């Protein structure tokens, strides 16, 4: 089981810096794409695309965001960003395939029980949805089926 996106598994994180081309532009991470898609205006998306990983989450709050940012839209955009991340970076595809059949859980301590499974004292009894881990395992399976 992989239950952290730190250390030797930091490349699973959306904050892992890698080259991604989306809509003809270079993006620094899947997190950049995900956060930018929350913005209504193209110029704001561009600002998010150019900002650092450190400032991305606070920066996106400065801009008008789409009204219908519901779970299915969030999931669709995240899955697309992850697929681009792995499909465009062969070394990351190899690392993902090399996880074998390991369960992937985005374990965290920042109360994110939607994308992951928070293990803090307040959340340890809550079963996180682990949407990010599930998406990564689905992408891994899809890639293996193509090989």
Give the residue extent of every domain in the chain: 7-146
**Nearest in space to 66 (alpha carbons), one of 36, 23, 30, 28:** 36
Topology, domain 7-146: Tetracycline Repressor; domain 2 (1.10.357)
Q: CA–CA separation, 87 vs 130, rounded Å?
A: 22
* CB of 92 closer than 8 Å to CB of 54: no
* CB of 129 closer than 8 Å to CB of 113: yes
Mean per-residue pLDDT over the chain, rounded: 94
**Nearest in space to 49 (alpha carbons), one of 73, 71, 74, 19:** 19
pLDDT of residue 138: 97
Query: Length of the chain, please?
Result: 147
pLDDT of residue 19: 95
Q: pLDDT class for 4, splitting at 50, 70, 90?
A: very high
Whether the pLDDT of residue 21 is over 90: the answer is: yes
Containing 145, the helix (H) or strand (E) segment is helix 131-146
Average pLDDT over residues 21-28: 97
How many Cβ atoms sit within 10 Å of the Cβ of residue 16?
18
Average pLDDT over residues 6-15: 96
């Amino acid at each position: 089981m992989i239950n952290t996106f730190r250390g030797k598994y930091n490349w699973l994180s959306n904050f892992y810096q890698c080259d991604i081309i989306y809509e003809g532009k270079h993006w620094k991470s899947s997190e950049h794409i995900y956060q930018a898609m929350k913005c209504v205006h193209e110029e704001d998306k561009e600002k998010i695309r150019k900002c650092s990983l450190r400032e991305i989450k606070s920066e996106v709050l400065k801009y008008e965001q789409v009204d219908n940012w519901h779970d299915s839209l969030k999931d669709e955009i995240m899955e697309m960003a992850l697929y681009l991340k792995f499909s465009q970076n062969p070394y990351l595809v190899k690392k993902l395939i090399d996880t074998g059949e390991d369960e992937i859980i985005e374990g965290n301590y920042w109360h994110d029980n939607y994308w992951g499974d928070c293990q803090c004292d307040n959340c340890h009894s809550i079963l996180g949805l682990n949407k990010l881990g599930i998406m990564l395992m689905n992408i891994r399976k899809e890639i293996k089926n193509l090989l």
